[in-house]
Amino acid sequence: MRRLLLPLAACFLTAASERAFDREIMVLTIENIAATAGPTGVRRIDPAVVQAMRKVPRHRLVPEGVRAQAYANRPLAIGYEQTISQPYIVALMTHLLDAEPDHVVLEVGTGSGYQAAVLAELVRQVYTIEIVEPLAARAKQQLAELGYRNVTVRAGDGYAGWPEHAPFDRIIVTAGASHVPKPLIAQLRPGGRMVIPVGRTSNTLDLTVIEKDRSGRLKRRKLLPVAFVPLTRSRG
């Protein structure tokens, strides 16, 4: 892969100074991998997740202004002060979710719709909630254009989950929460699993995996310090 990518990049960028962006990506990637391989214990992302990410046109889901960087391993601005996670974190969270083809998944924080599309490649049905209305509307339209029929987008406060479609086999929260929302725990099926960044501030979040066993007991594992935009609450 590396052999293929380098000459390609060289075609587009000639002057050495113009490569600063590429170098930044390189350094970020190195830092990421060094920082995460140890604590997460995840040395190999599920091949089904990798295949889904190979398939989903990330550039079609992010705003036009950042399309050129869509495949760089870095977060991107998607408007309304929100960001889409870097591909590695999407891969890791999806891997940790450990979803199966017949699963129904709830996502809180639709954002661009990219994570929802990756999930849609892997499971039967995705329900996703976004609190910023124009983002919900845009994701809904883009996902429909791309032909994803098994994703349902709703504008609203995902803190409350989506009781009409509960229980969920899996729940993924893609915004940083100060605590695990009780309604989400209630809407998780016994035997189910939730992946959520939890911490007091958006700079001190831990990517957390919560498992609910058959008798409803919860087990919580902190995997990795991460940065996410905050889970906000609707007023009233």
Chain residues in the site for ligand SAH (CB under 6 A): 82-85, 108-109, 111-112, 114-115, 129-132, 135, 157-159, 174-175, 229, 231-233
Name the minimum Å distance from CB 102 to ligand SAH: 22
Name the minimum Å distance from CB 27 to ligand SAH: 23
Name the minimum Å distance from CB 12 to ligand SAH: 26
202 a catalytic residue: no
User: Closest CB to ligand SAH among 51 and 232?
Assistant: 232
User: Closest CB to ligand SAH among 36 and 82?
Assistant: 82
3-state secondary structure the chain: CHHHHHHHHHHHCCCHHHHHHHHHHHHHHHHHHHHHHHHHCCCCCCHHHHHHHHHCCHHHHCCHHHHHHCCCCCCEEEECCEEECCHHHHHHHHHHHCCCCCCEEEEECCCCCHHHHHHHHHCCEEEEEECCHHHHHHHHHHHHHCCCCCEEEEECCHHHCCHHHCCEEEEEECCEECCCCHHHHHCEEEEEEEEEEECCCCCCEEEEEEEECCCCCEEEEEEEEECCCECCCCCC
User: Closest CB to ligand SAH among 123 and 175?
Assistant: 175
Which member of 17, 85, 215, 234 is catalytic? 85
Name the minimum Å distance from CB 236 to ligand SAH: 14
Catalytic residues, by residue number, are: 85
